[in-house]
Structure 1
Amino acid sequence: MLQYGQITDAPVYLDDKSLVGHCEEFNIPEIETQTIEHDTLGSIGVMKLPRRGLSALEGSLIMSFAEPEFLSITSNPRKAARFQVHSKLDIFDAMGLDETNSTTLVTHVTALFHKSAFPGAKKADAGKHNADFSVTRLMQRDINSGTPIVEIDLFANIYKVLGENVWPD
């Protein structure tokens, strides 16, 4: 049966515990594997094969309201911040909301913020807080599963998909 999924809410938690706001938009870093190009004499085409390296992981978020504590953290480029975004994923089918398959995707991020725009002041406007960051650790999992969908830790040299190392030792 055909199903549709949509993110309906995305609260942000700091240091795995305190709620610091809600995302309007969360751009998870794209995972881009670097490649090596092979163009040899006699071959009919050029081949790009993956190498053991990822491009820089950069993301951004737009908060509809952010606690002052989070604003101060996104303003300090020298200190890494650990936060989680809990994306509420509602699944619908022909019978309506499928509560069995609806879930929450939890994205754990350790990041260094390098651009932060404070909300302006406008009458009757909630204001938005925009922030861009570089990621040193990224892990996403379904809240109902103990196995992460993807886990990357640049300092620990970890890159796993569904709990398995992408590259053998």
Structure 2
Amino acid sequence: MKVVSRSAIARIMILVLLVALNFGAYRTRGAAIDPTSYALLLGVLPMVQVLGVGYLVGRGSPGSRLFLRGFLAGGLAAMALYVALAAVAGGTLIVPLIQSAFTELLVLSPAPLAGWAFPFAFDAFASLVVLLPQLVPALLGGYWTLLVGLPDLDWEFEPSSRIL
């Protein structure tokens, strides 16, 4: 009988947590939330998940640690900029921009969406539209640290290495 390690169980639990977080967050879509909170939901949740999965995948291979540091730094900076933009102009800039882009996409689509599929398709499209501009600085940060490098740091990069 094969024994499952603690790290494998912990990774599965993190994956289940991410899925539960998605379902819980997108379930609030049905409730009446203000446009700023909705813009934050659409932009921050996918980016946190991309950074979390990138961390879990990248920390397993020692050759990608340098890229991982730059990826996380660039991603966190892009996410902080998005949070500031969404807090200032989420309801007046981000949500109407996404709605107009989605309306144009519906005009070009060959088949109409069913009534129940519309909110799911809109949320998926909106999350993708808001996530892609955040991924660019994250990837650029990762490649930049590969090209330039980082100084040798004295602190431990993985504070939770004993747990996972």
* Smaller-chain TM-score bracket: under 0.3
Ranked by relative contact order (alpha carbons within 8 Å, sequence separation 6 or more), the top structure is: 2
TM-score (norm 1): 0.23
The normalised TM-score by structure 2 is: 0.24
Point out the structure with the larger helix share: 2
Pick the structure with more strand per residue.
1
